Structure 1
Amino acid sequence: MRILRIDETRAGQRIDNFLLRECKGVPKSHIYKAIRGGQVRVNKGRISSDYRLQDGDMVRIPPLRLPEPEQPRHVPAAAFPVVFEDEHLLVIDKPAGVAVHGGSGVSFGVIEQLRAARPEEPFLELAHRLDRDTSGLLIIAKRRAALVGLHDMFREIRARKFYWALVQGDWVNDRQHIRFPLLRWLTESGERRVKVDPAGKAAHTIITMQRRFGRFSLVQAELKTGRTHQIRVHLAHSGFPIVGDDKYGDDAIRDQFARQGFKRMFLHSGRLEFDHPVTGQPLVLEAALPAACQSLLNRLEK
């Protein structure tokens, strides 16, 4: 049995989510049963699973039965290029090909590697997501207050997020609004996909022309909503799939560029504009195009 004191870094978190992270490996059913049965106590009193922890709370965690032991999972520590950091936030430049978190066949991702590299940090949580094959700016909260503020900011669309994409085709308009509703679905193999569907959720992307390369165009995409695969599906449905996109792109084009050494999707989160969720300081953060993307543009230019 353990008794833990809650500090400000954990205040505001639901007791069930706190226990799931604190008691790694314990099945969810065991944790909820312990809460319902009164074995988990806060300040010596019973609580429900949606109770939000307060600074100074004393949490009693009873002995919980673990499943059969497995080989411990090794998460290699990794450092990523830091674009901005203070006591509340960490913003990194994520490389393509690295998932932001473990799951769906991925043993670990950026967040697990950061936690392994920074054991002194009591709180590191993703503030938003990037697809595995998308590179660029990724925000990690170092305090719960920052995480809550960032979630509110993204939900209320008070942040501006800009991506750069190389698409197949000669983009026509200098600036174009795309508003196709998006619906998530699963393939027969269980793979997550998104499609344009009237029954889907509203989605809004602003595309701005950057450079033309004949059969290809470099565009800037500003997200006004944050749907899964939004930029990829909006561009593909418009007839301009992203180069290297293995879900919604052109397989022949992807293979062509792969033979030339470009083996990723050309989608990069290059600019973020938002007010710091704690201090209110206006932030404009940028991450340059990765070398592989810039090299490809140079070849197309020639």
Structure 2
Amino acid sequence: MYNSKYLEVNSDDVGLRLDKFIFKNFSNIPYSIIQKKIRTGLFKVNGFRKRASYKLNYLDKVFYIGDLILAKNKLKNLSVNEDQKLIIKKSIIFEDNEVIILNKPYGIPVQGGTKIKFSINDALNQTGSKNKILRLTHRIDKNTTGILIIAKSKETAKNVTELFRENKIKKTYWALVEGNPKEKKGYIKASIAKIKVNKMEKMKVIENKEKNSITYYKTLDSRDGLSLLEVYPKTGRTHQIRIHLLSKKCPILGDKKYKLSNNNSNKFKEINKKMYLHAKSISFKLNEKRYVVEAELPSHFKKILKLYNFII
């Protein structure tokens, strides 16, 4: 392999994801950049391309192009800066030996990508240490605010992820929607699948009774063509709440991706610049301890509720 070097996997790193292993050894490179370099083949395992999620085995050799050492210096300016780390630290609303719970700010993606310069995951990886990597346990959308659980160990991450999979975590959202649901309280039961629209991937309600997703909702108040809903997703499909509410002709205010074709954009153009979906509370039991945490609404959400005199 031309001009290449390698890192050998020891017993401590067996089972570690490839991207996590690389970050552990090149911690000044943003996590999103590492994932991109894996996709483009800059990093290989035993001479072969692998996915970022590949689990390493004992004595695996992770090869990388020798010029990466030079590239690292060029990438330093992409590293998470102190102001960005401070944003994350200020977002912590609960912490113990097992987890950190954030009130995620608006507009910050949870995970990195090719066009993303800063994500929650990047900040977590640079906040942790080589011996203690902070781990995401789930995701919420970039423009959704609120509860996000971070695990302090691999074991805790596995346990929390399992709780989500088994529907043993209750997560409640507040959504400000256009229109008024015909039924003040109820549930939406519909299957969701990924489709392509104008070369862009979207999720859409489809006919498939075997794979139904379920979202419970309750109307808290309605004012001037807007409704404040308390929403509880029983299942956890991508964009589930946004798609289910759209299917009821009550799209989330400010949702640019999932909206009605005859959207009341002119009526709400002064207030729909941001999306109004907030992960407000969460409750679960982990290692015999009961967790109940609530996240304060973001300022743009509170401002609109006050402007329209919502009673909450």
User: What is the TM-score normalised by the length of structure 1?
Assistant: 0.80
Alignment of 1:167-206 (within 5 A): 167-189=177-199, 191-199=200-208, 201-206=211-216
Is 1:259 matched up with 2:264? no
Alignment of 1:61-72 (within 5 A): 61=61, 64-65=64-65, 70=71, 71-72=74-75
Aligned-residue CA RMSD (Å): 3.0
Q: Secondary structure at the match of 1:181?
A: strand
Pick from 286, 292, 306 the counterpart of residue 298 of structure 1.
306
Pick from 90, 104, 114 the counterpart of residue 100 of structure 2.
90
Residue segments in structure 2 that go unaligned for 5+ positions in a row: 1-5, 26-33
Give per-residue Cα distances to partners, 1:74-122, cap 9 Å, x unaligned.
Answer: 3234233111112221110011111111115212311102333445772
Pick from 282, 293, 300 the counterpart of residue 290 of structure 2.
282
Q: Secondary structure at the match of 1:285?
A: strand
Pick from 199, 214, 232 the counterpart of residue 222 of structure 1.
232
Aligned residue in 1 for 2:80: 75
Offset at residue 171 of structure 1 (A): 2.4
Aligned counterparts of 1:225 and 1:204: Cα–Cα separation in 2: 6
Change (3 A) 1:11 1:92: farther
Aligned counterparts of 1:239 and 1:85: Cα–Cα separation in 2: 39
Aligned residue in 1 for 2:16: 13
Give per-residue Cα distances to partners, 1:248-273, cap 9 Å, x unaligned.
Answer: 1258545654535x521010000101
Give per-residue Cα distances to partners, 1:159-215, cap 9 Å, x unaligned.
Answer: 0111000111122323211101001123333x3211111259421100111112141
Change (3 A) 1:31 1:115: same
Q: Secondary structure at the match of 1:166?
A: strand
Aligned counterparts of 1:297 and 1:114: Cα–Cα separation in 2: 32
Offset at residue 295 of structure 1 (A): 1.4
Amino acid at match of 1:13: L
Contact 1:20 1:31 in 2 (8 A): no
Alignment of 1:128-143 (within 5 A): 128-143=138-153
Q: Secondary structure at the match of 1:179?
A: strand
Aligned residue in 1 for 2:3: none
Contact 2:215 2:232 in 1 (8 A): yes
Change (3 A) 1:67 1:208: farther
Change (3 A) 1:32 1:95: same
Q: Secondary structure at the match of 1:105?
A: coil
Contact 1:257 1:263 in 2 (8 A): no
Contact 1:12 1:144 in 2 (8 A): no
Change (3 A) 1:30 1:106: closer
Amino acid at match of 1:123: I
Pick from 106, 113, 122 the counterpart of residue 123 of structure 2.
113
Pick from 217, 220, 223 the counterpart of residue 213 of structure 1.
223
Alignment of 1:235-250 (within 5 A): 235-249=245-259
Amino acid at match of 1:34: G
Pick from 146, 156, 160 the counterpart of residue 156 of structure 2.
146
Offset at residue 50 of structure 1 (A): 6.7
Give per-residue Cα distances to partners, 1:34-79, cap 9 Å, x unaligned.
Answer: 379xxxxxxxxxxxx97666xxx6x464653257765313323423
User: What is the TM-score normalised by the length of structure 2?
Assistant: 0.78
Contact 2:220 2:230 in 1 (8 A): yes
Contact 2:221 2:229 in 1 (8 A): yes
Aligned counterparts of 2:195 and 2:116: Cα–Cα separation in 1: 20
Give per-residue Cα distances to partners, 1:230-281, cap 9 Å, x unaligned.
Answer: 0001001111111111011258545654535x521010000101112xx320
